[in-house]
Each structure stands twice: as C-alpha cells, then as structure tokens.
C-alpha cells in the first residue's frame, strides 16, 4: 500500500517541484556539477568572502592554535549553561558599537532569530503586521507567536496604513515587520515610510537586514545605514550567513529587550552556542567588510549592467539590488531552462512555488562582488534565445 508520503512526493514530481540535495565542488566562484565547471549564480556569498583564499589565510594566521578559546570547534552547551564565551560578548560589543545600538544578542542563524524573537516579544493581545513577501522564517515566527498576525500586500504601505487605522486601538502592542531587501524579487522596502507609519500609530518596527548587511551603507551595515535611518529601527536583525560567508545572526535592540530575549526566546535558550572558531571568523569578517566600499560599488555596477541588459533583451525582471530575478512562469519551463543554463555553463536552480506565488517560477540570479562583467555579458542574449525556443 502506497503511503501518504509517497503520494505527496509523487505529486511534487508531477508538478515539477520535487527537490533534491546536490553536492557540489567549489572552486573560486565556480562549482563543479556532474564533471562540468559552472559559474555560480545561486550563491548568497555576495561579497565573495567565502571564496577569498587570501582572506581565509589571513584569518587562520590570526589564530593561536594553542588557545582553545579562539579555536574551539564546539561550544557543547547553550550560552545560559557553559556555552557562553568572552568571544561572543566581544562580537556583540563590536556589532553594537558599529550600529550605535544599546545592546546586541547573537543567535545561531537568521532562522533561529526570526522564530525566536517574534514569539518571545509578542503574544495574546498583540498584533504583528508583516509584509506578504517576508522570508519563510519570519512567517514561521508569526505562526509560533500567540499574537494575532496579518500580512499586508508587498510594499503596499497604503494597505498597511489601512490595517493600522482599523486595528491599532484593538491591541496592546503592535509591530510592523519587513525585510529591507526582499530575497526573491530583489527590491527594497521604503524604510522612511515604514518609520513614518511607526510614529503615526505608536508601534514598533522590526527590520530584517539579511540581504542588506555587507552590501549597503558606508560601513556595509545595510539599507538602514545607507539611508541614515538606523535610529528609527526598534529591532534590527542581521545575519552572518549571506554576505559575511558564515553562520549566525544578531539583533540590535535595547538592553531591556536583550535581557528579555535571554530569558524568553526559546531558540536562544535551548540551542548550543556558536563555536569559538565561528565567533572568531564572524568578528574577523564583520570588521573587514566595513571597509569594502570598492567591492560594494563594483557589485552595484555589474548588477545594474545585468538588469539593464536583460530588459534590453525583452526579459521580464524587477528589483534594484544584486538579486536579479527573471520570471519564467510555469514550473516545467523553469526546470527545462535551468538545465539549458547549466549546459551553457551557469549554475542556476529554478525557484518554484511555494517559495514564490503560483505561476511565477523564476531564476534568481545572485550577483557577487568577485564576478566581472565578462562573466555575465553573454547571459541575457542566451536567455532570450531560450525563451524564443520555448
């Protein structure tokens, strides 16, 4: 008898949505797949730090192998037991000083942060208003929270205002939740409007800068820094797992909120702390990325070139960042074109529902600072030819 799991897996296969793990060999911005070397257009290593051999060598040379506090490979306990280290506090202090934040608390990933902070801070009698295209980790945080939650149409701040006008007085606490850069469309939130709404209705603002940190602002601190709006953000969440080529996340907040999260955030309390060697790497790259303005400017230039070239070739794209989507439509077409792209030398995976809405399967070209325009310049015409063949 066929199990319900088998039936559901078969249904995914029939829809072209069956996902599989794909082990890859990484070599300086390229990857080996089925004995072929491909340009990696599916990475979140936006500054190329994970592939920077000189940076990696400098990091290892900075460590003292005899010092377990520097090189330990495991914390072996939660931070509230024996997994806390001076390194963790030093990293939090460095982040706080860069952002001008009263306090910072580390989490093990952006996912841990979003599923741990929102349920800890908001419960019955509260309301969370979330952009419809916020990351799945935020959505899961909403579900885990006992607060009422509503999703406003993507970047539709008139809709958000209407929700606030209708519901603000019914709840004790209300928080607006948005990403700064949206991971599937490559567009940006209007932070000034969000802050204005926050003040108009006396609510809090929670901003996830996962795809902004490293890439925007004079010191690479994200979109809020770039726009001079850091002081308007109540809870700023960042991650080390993308442009900073590591693992871990943090929240900038008040000391009161930090203390509250240490005592109430389940994904912090019941998780083994980050290993010392990871904390050291995070401190190392966080410090160095603040000076990488040339890399940031280069990334803007080649991403803009690619977006313009795609539009010149009649390909539907959107956004304004280094995340450059190309809408394909049907899942089956996206799968076929991804295979064709791999034949042409590009590592591209189709993004399909439920990650994106039905009928909007797409490629998500992730442009990184260690790429050059000659790596990308043929891609728009090649994609246009594919579209004609469909």
Confidence tier at 47 by pLDDT (50, 70, 90): very high
- Residue 333 is predicted with a pLDDT of 87
Handedness of CA 25, 27, 32, 38 (dihedral sign): positive
- Residue 389 is predicted with a pLDDT of 60
Q: Does domain 13-47+293-389 have CATH number 3.90.1150.10?
A: yes
pLDDT at 370 over 60: yes
CA–CA gap between residue 128 and residue 154 (Å, rounded): 15
pLDDT at 388 over 60: no
Q: Which two tokens stand for residue 241?
A: 């797992």
Domain boundaries, the chain: 13-47+293-389, 59-289
pLDDT at 66 over 80: no
The predicted model gives 238-266 an average pLDDT of: 98
Cα–Cα distances in angstroms (integers) from residue 343 to residues 34, 40, 78, 162, in the given order: 11, 13, 46, 49
How confident is the model over 326-341, as pLDDT tens digits?
A: 999 888 888 899 999 9
- Residue 24 is predicted with a pLDDT of 78
- Residue 390 is predicted with a pLDDT of 58
CA–CA gap between residue 42 and residue 349 (Å, rounded): 7
Confidence tier at 227 by pLDDT (50, 70, 90): very high
pTM metric for this prediction? 0.94
- Residue 1 is predicted with a pLDDT of 61
CA–CA gap between residue 282 and residue 285 (Å, rounded): 5
| Residue 31: alpha-carbon gap to chain centroid | 22
- Residue 28 is predicted with a pLDDT of 67
* Inter-axis angle of helices 110-121 and 136-144, nearest 10: 30
CA–CA gap between residue 385 and residue 343 (Å, rounded): 14
The predicted model gives 204-233 an average pLDDT of: 98
CA–CA gap between residue 285 and residue 55 (Å, rounded): 9
Q: Which two tokens stand for residue 83?
A: 């997994």
How confident is the model over 349-368, as pLDDT tens digits?
A: 888 888 888 888 899 999 99
Using an 8 Å Cβ cutoff, are 130 and 138 in contact?
Answer: yes
- Residue 308 is predicted with a pLDDT of 96
Reduced DSSP (H G I as helix, E B as strand, rest coil) percent helix, strand, coil of the chain, to 5: 45, 20, 40
- Residue 29 is predicted with a pLDDT of 64
Whole-number mean pLDDT of the chain? 93
pLDDT at 175 over 90: yes
How confident is the model over 311-321, as pLDDT tens digits?
A: 999 998 999 99
The predicted model gives 21-44 an average pLDDT of: 82
The predicted model gives 161-176 an average pLDDT of: 97
Confidence tier at 12 by pLDDT (50, 70, 90): confident
Cα–Cα distances in angstroms (integers) from residue 245 to residues 56, 95, 150, 209, 281, in the given order: 11, 16, 33, 15, 9
How confident is the model over 188-217, as pLDDT tens digits?
A: 999 999 999 999 999 999 999 999 999 999
CA–CA gap between residue 187 and residue 180 (Å, rounded): 8
Please tell me the CATH code under which domain 59-289 is placed.
3.40.640.10
Q: If you search the block for the tokens 């003040």, which residue do you land on?
A: 199
The predicted model gives 243-248 an average pLDDT of: 97
Which residues are CB-contacts of 226 (< 8 A; sequence separation ≥ 6)? 212, 216, 217, 218
Q: 290 burial class (0-12, 13-18, 19+ CB within 10 angstroms)?
A: middle
How many alpha carbons fall within 13 Å on the CB side of residue 226?
19
Share of the chain above pLDDT 90, in %: 78
Question: DSSP characters for 98-120?
Answer: HHT-SEEEEESSHHHHHHHHHHH
Confidence tier at 70 by pLDDT (50, 70, 90): confident
The predicted model gives 57-65 an average pLDDT of: 89
* Inter-axis angle of helices 379-389 and 331-343, nearest 10: 130
- Residue 276 is predicted with a pLDDT of 93
The angle at the Cα of 156, spanning 364 to 243, to the nearest 5 degrees, equals 35
In 148-196, at which residue ranges do the beta strands (DSSP E only) sit? 148-152, 174-179
Would 13-47+293-389 and 59-289 be classified into the same CATH topology?
no
């Amino acid at each position: 008898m066929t199990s319900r799991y088998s039936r559901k897996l078969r249904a995914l296969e029939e829809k072209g949505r069956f996902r599989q793990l794909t082990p890859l060999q990484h070599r300086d911005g390229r990857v080996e797949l089925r004995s072929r070397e491909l340009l990696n257009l599916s990475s979140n290593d936006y500054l190329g730090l994970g592939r920077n051999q000189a940076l990696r060598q400098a990091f290892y040379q900075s460590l003292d192998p005899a010092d377990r506090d520097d090189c330990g490979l495991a914390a072996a306990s939660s931070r509230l037991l024996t997994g806390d280290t001076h390194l963790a506090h030093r990293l939090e202090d460095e982040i706080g000083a860069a952002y001008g934040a009263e306090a910072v608390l580390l989490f093990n990933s952006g996912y841990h942060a979003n599923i741990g902070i929102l349920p800890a801070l908001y419960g019955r009698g509260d309301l969370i208003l979330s952009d419809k295209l916020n990351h799945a980790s935020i959505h899961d945080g909403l579900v885990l929270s006992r607060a009422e939650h509503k999703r406003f149409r993507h970047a539709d701040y008139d809709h958000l205002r209407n929700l606030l006008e209708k519901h603000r007085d019914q709840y004790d606490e209300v928080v607006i939740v948005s990403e700064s850069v949206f991971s599937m469309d490559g567009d940006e939130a209007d932070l000034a409007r969000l802050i204005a709404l926050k003040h108009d209705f006396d609510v809090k603002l929670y901003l996830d800068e996962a795809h902004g940190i490293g890439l925007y602002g004079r010191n690479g601190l994200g979109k809020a820094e770039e726009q001079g709006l850091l002081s308007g953000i109540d809870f700023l969440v960042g991650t080390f797992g993308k442009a900073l080529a590591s693992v871990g996340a943090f929240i900038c907040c008040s000391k009161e909120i930090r203390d509250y999260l240490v005592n109430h955030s389940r994904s912090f309390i019941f998780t083994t702390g980050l290993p010392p060697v990871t904390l050291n790497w995070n401190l190392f790259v966080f410090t160095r990325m603040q000076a990488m303005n040339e890399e940031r400017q280069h990334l803007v230039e080649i991403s803009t070139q690619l977006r313009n070239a795609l539009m010149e070739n009649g390909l539907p794209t959107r956004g304004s960042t280094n995340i450059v989507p190309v809408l394909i439509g049907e899942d089956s077409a996206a799968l076929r074109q991804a295979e064709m792209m791999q034949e042409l030398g590009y590592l591209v995976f189709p993004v399909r529902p439920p990650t994106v809405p039905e009928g909007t399967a797409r490629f998500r070209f992730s442009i990184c600072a260690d790429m050059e325009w000659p790596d990308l310049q043929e891609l728009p015409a090649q994609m246009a030819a594919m579209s004609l063949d469909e």
